[in-house]
A = this chain, B = another copy of it.
């Protein structure tokens, strides 16, 4: 268990937090570990549940606080994938976005460099300095189309 937290300490998120002057505490490392471990569209509640497996005394308030810090540092961002729950998505260097199926709730990640240049161009034309974008396409996924 301690080992997993130490592992998170070496990650990119931990480095960014440290650089910004935040302490690398075990609760925070547990949250970072969960996020970096592939739980990339997690609600605070889900992060909390997964984090407790790594660091049992983790508190829900700390999860919210850590996600706030990541948002403030521009490393994550709240997103809202179809359902009402607030979710957080880690930022990546590449442009990526979501296909959300209205029928089964499946979320598919897609990388598309082309889209990034389109949005950057539009923003630039309007004098807007873009920091990032969030795109969600909703509809019906391939599997749900065939099962109807």
Contacts and interface: CB of A to CB of B under 8 A. Distances in A.
Interface string A124-144: 001111111111111111100
Contacts of A110: 122, 126
A35 B140 CA distance: 27
A137 B133 contact: yes
Interface residues of A, number: 36
B141 A128 contact: yes
Given A80-B80, A123-B99, A133 B128 contact: no
Interface of A: 77-80, 84, 86, 99, 101-102, 108, 110, 112, 114-115, 118-119, 122-123, 126-142, 145
